[in-house]
Amino acid sequence: MHITILGGGGFLGRKLAARLSETGTLAGETISSLTLFDMAPPPAPEKAPFPVRCLTGDVADPQALGEAIPPETRVVFQLAAVVSAAAEADFDLGVRVNLQGSLALIEVARRCGVPPRIVFTSSVASFSGDQSTVMADDARQMPLNSYGAEKAAAELMLQDASRRGMLDAVNIRLPTVIVRPGRPNKAASSFVSAILREPLLGLETSLPVDEAFALWVSSPRVVVGWLLKAAEMDTSALGTDRGINPPGLTVTVGEMLAALSPAERALVKSEPDPVVAGIVGGWPARFAATRALALGFQPQVGLAEILQAFREDDLAQTRAERGH
């Protein structure tokens, strides 16, 4: 089967491509070829047992997307996005990539021989709620930021295209993914990774919220497992509702800081930022995720696993890239 990863150059895209390259199969079928598509040239995974095409282009351009998704494509992982603070700063850019890109994906998917599975990464940011509310699986999406609104609107259209048999979408609302390798980015949640990653690199970082602040999180390793599960699952169990709230983990900032050594902890400086706090403060911190667990999505078990995943998978390379 042919697989395409949109946003294949991002940190989740690279990890997913590496995992597919290791296994060589998906849903019991041999992967015949893989296309990675991103704005900048995405790196091919090492030692892939199948041919890998690396393409650049704009996900909102149906022609570029059509080249990235040839008619024989069976699975598309849609990881390309303009993230939360960037979509808040530039409304037009967010609409184009996060919503128009999804409409272009529907257009292209309709040309495939068999309706392809679309694993669409939506977000916890498509919901709003206070710190204590446990969000039910059928909770209404009432986003308080443009990124979340665009994701929720795209979900509706992918769900409708699934109902019509044009494609076969699973809309998975990812928690805040930590610990992100590399550098801080424009996500409003960038600090959540930074308060662990930067101290582990021996670097100072700022904390824009207070220590009692709770978040819904997961590790990149667990997320890659969810993406594969979403690609392999029998979607007939979903019916009309193509949305999945996966089983992440609720942690407080204080619990995260307590996982650091005292010397590392001292590198995190409190610097309240009302803009960042305003965005992430509207994201719910707790989800029931009953449906996802029943469907076999593996839960994020604890903060120790998250830190272990970063140390094993990303710390050495991040250190090398950043010279620390």
Active site (catalytic) residues: 147
Considering only residues 63 to 102 of the shown chain, the ones binding its own copies according to CB under 8 A are 91, 95, 99
Q: Which residue number, 78 or 141, has a Cβ lying nearer to its own copies?
A: 141
Q: For the CB of residue 57, give the shortest distance to its own copies in the complex, in Å.
A: 21
Candidate list 22, 130, 210, 241; residue touching its own copies; CB under 8 A:
241
Q: Are the C-beta atoms of 124 and 173 separated by less than 8 Å?
A: yes
Q: For the CB of residue 84, give the shortest distance to its own copies in the complex, in Å.
A: 13
Q: Which residue number, 256 or 292, has a Cβ lying nearer to its own copies?
A: 292
Considering only residues 125 to 154 of the shown chain, the ones binding its own copies according to CB under 8 A are 128, 138-146, 149-150, 152-154
Candidate list 26, 31, 85, 166; residue touching its own copies; CB under 8 A:
166
Q: Is 289 in the site for its own copies (CB under 8 A)?
A: no
Q: For the CB of residue 62, give the shortest distance to its own copies in the complex, in Å.
A: 12
Q: For the CB of residue 310, give the shortest distance to its own copies in the complex, in Å.
A: 33
Calpha distance 9→58 (Å, rounded): 13
Tokens coding 86: 């960037």
Q: Which residue number, 12 or 149, has a Cβ lying nearer to its own copies?
A: 149
Q: Is 269 in the site for its own copies (CB under 8 A)?
A: no
Q: Are the C-beta atoms of 141 and 157 separated by less than 8 Å?
A: no
Burial label, 107 (beta-carbon count in 10 A; 0-12, 13-18, 19+): middle
Place of tokens 């997320």: 223
The b/e string for 290-310 (b: 16+ C-beta within 10 A; e otherwise) is ebbeebebeebeebeebbebb
Residue 113 is given by DSSP the state: S
Q: Are the C-beta atoms of 84 and 189 separated by less than 8 Å?
A: yes
DSSP string covering 200-217: HTT--EEE-S-TT-EEEE
Nearest by Cα to 151 from 101, 92, 226, 185: 101
Tell me, residue by residue from 95 to 114, as one string, x for binding to its own copies by CB under 8 A and - for no binding.
x---x---x-----------
Calpha distance 169→107 (Å, rounded): 14
Size of the residue set binding its own copies (CB under 8 A): 29
Q: Which residue number, 274 or 296, has a Cβ lying nearer to its own copies?
A: 274
Positions that interact with its own copies (CB under 8 A): 91, 95, 99, 103, 128, 138-146, 149-150, 152-154, 156-157, 159-161, 163-164, 166, 240-241
